[in-house]
Amino acid sequence: MSEDLSRKKMATRLIHAGAEPDPSTGAIMTPIFQTSTYVQEAPGVNKGFEYARSQNPTRKALETAYAIIENGKYGLAFSSGVAVTDAVIKLLSPGDEVIAAQDMYGGTYRLFTKVFEKFGIRFKYVDTTVAENVSAAITPATKLVWIETPTNPLMNITDIAAVSAITKNAGAILCVDNTFATPYFQNPLDLGADIVMHSATKYLGGHSDVIQGALMMNSKDLYDQLYFIQKSCGAVPGPMDCFLVLRGIKTLHVRMKQHNENGYTIAHFLRKHPSVDKVFWAGFSDHPNHQIAKTQMRGFGGMMSFTLKDDSVEAAKKVLSSTRLFSLAESLGGVESLINHPASMTHASIPREERIKTGLTDGLIRLSVGIEDADDLVEDLKQAIG
């Protein structure tokens, strides 16, 4: 597409990002280039593609789209969200220090503590919703600050611009996990982040049929380093997976509008329910960081968590096993609604005492509100909670 998409609004960018008609057939959808290698005219003389771990035309189209939708210059696609996290940490050396949010996805915590600590990377966990905590934790060894906003599963909000100012002053890299908000609601690069990551398995793919991760950035130096890691370590997605995410991105705006609308309905229903204690959703005006969320986000989405007044595992399990439209499953961000028990599922790798300190209790229930009819979803939760 010859049109400059940087000047277009989000819906237009999402539909046209990375899309160029196939020159050989005119196909409007990017073909699935299912090949492992490419014929060369002579050694080193090729059409820009040598070996599919290094480059693939379908992946190239997706990586172009990734950059465009996050207002970045560069994008990289990986085989999973965890592979993305792995690649970013590989920018570091033994003795380097990472400041990370104390409330984050359990798989990220597992990778940090069970894998990279063995290689001499040090991790500090702080409450990043207070920017001064990040500033106080920084030392000369700090090379990376890693935040999620909103966080998984407690929906805490970090002021990206404030933390960015702190990291730039310290000469550290700021990486923001933007999976929950998506580029439709939030663009961390515009707020000063150096790297944005997504588990594209979630909202970017949007249909619970692909595993993939994404990185976006503006720095050519960071891109070159991360591309080298991608190529050398080999955690690349296949062309079919890239095709599926390209397809998913095209409808991100219409899906996120409905996730947001349904999320509003479900969050307010839960808050009024007599058996529900707390509802964690940044759209409430009394959420501790609601004003920051309003400033840096354009919507609050369909992710939320809640606890019952009977905050026991047994009470939670009764609800988890009683829903009919909300499916009990790992993951999130698909068109269908999912219900999850973080303590035993997505965050089971975090020691219980650490979970409890951050507010992730044994009875916490997480919802990924889909795009079904909101009235049907309310009825489902009503009969499940009782």
Domain of 364, CATH number, reads 3.90.1150.10
Selecting among 59, 202, 250, 255, the annotated active-site residue is: 202
User: Can you give the pLDDT at residue 200?
Assistant: 98
Residues 96, 221, single domain; the answer is yes
Domain end (from 249, 274, 308): 249
Residues 60, 88, single domain; the answer is yes
Q: What is the pLDDT along the chain (386 residues), one digit of tens a residue?
A: 446 898 899 999 999 999 999 998 999 999 999 999 999 999 989 999 999 999 999 999 999 999 999 999 999 999 999 999 999 999 999 999 999 999 999 999 999 999 999 999 999 999 999 999 999 999 999 999 999 999 999 999 999 999 999 999 999 999 999 999 999 999 999 999 999 999 999 999 999 999 999 999 999 999 999 999 999 999 999 999 999 999 999 999 999 999 999 999 999 999 999 999 999 999 999 999 999 999 999 999 999 999 999 989 999 999 999 999 999 999 999 999 999 999 888 788 888 888 888 888 899 999 999 999 999 999 999 999 99
Among 213, 221, 216, 267, smallest CA distance to 245 is for 213
Predicted TM-score of the model (pTM): 0.96
Residues 112, 209, single domain; the answer is yes
b/e per residue 165-188 (b: at least 16 CB within 10 A)? ebbeebebbbbbbbbbbbbbbbbb
Burial class (CB in 10 A: 0-12, 13-18, 19+), 221: exposed
382 HSE (CA, 13 A, CB side):
11
Question: Domain holding 20: CATH number?
Answer: 3.40.640.10
Residues 216, 258, single domain; the answer is no
Q: Residue 278 catalytic?
A: no
Rounded Cα–Cα distance for residues 46 and 61 (Å): 18
Rounded Cα–Cα distance for residues 281 and 264 (Å): 9
Rounded Cα–Cα distance for residues 210 and 200 (Å): 8
Q: Are 367 and 334 in contact (CB under 8 A)?
A: no
Domain end (from 229, 249, 269): 249
User: Can you give the pLDDT at residue 3?
Assistant: 65
How many domains would you assign to the chain?
2
Q: Residue 105 catalytic?
A: yes
Residues 241, 275, single domain; the answer is no
Helices 220-233 & 81-89 angle (0-180, nearest 10): 110
Selecting among 60, 90, 103, 105, the annotated active-site residue is: 105
Residues 323, 258, single domain; the answer is yes
Q: Residue 125 catalytic?
A: no
Residues 92, 233, single domain; the answer is yes
Selecting among 53, 110, 122, 318, the annotated active-site residue is: 53
* Dihedral (CA of 249, 325, 79, 167) sign: positive
Strand locations in 276-384 (E): 276-280, 303-308, 327-328, 338-340, 365-368
Domain end (from 224, 249, 274): 249
Domain containing 57 equals 5-249
User: Can you give the pLDDT at residue 342?
Assistant: 92
Q: Are 196 and 216 in contact (CB under 8 A)?
A: yes
Residues 288, 359, single domain; the answer is yes
The tokens for 113 are 């503590």
Residues 172, 224, single domain; the answer is yes
Residue 203 DSSP SS3: coil
Residues 301, 220, single domain; the answer is no
Pairing of strands 276-280, 327-328: unpaired
Residues 268, 206, single domain; the answer is no
Rounded Cα–Cα distance for residues 341 and 362 (Å): 8
Rounded Cα–Cα distance for residues 72 and 64 (Å): 10
The tokens for 365 are 């229930």
Residues 166, 272, single domain; the answer is no
Do you find a cis peptide bond into 150, omega within 30 degrees of 0?
Answer: yes
Selecting among 86, 103, 159, 177, the annotated active-site residue is: 177
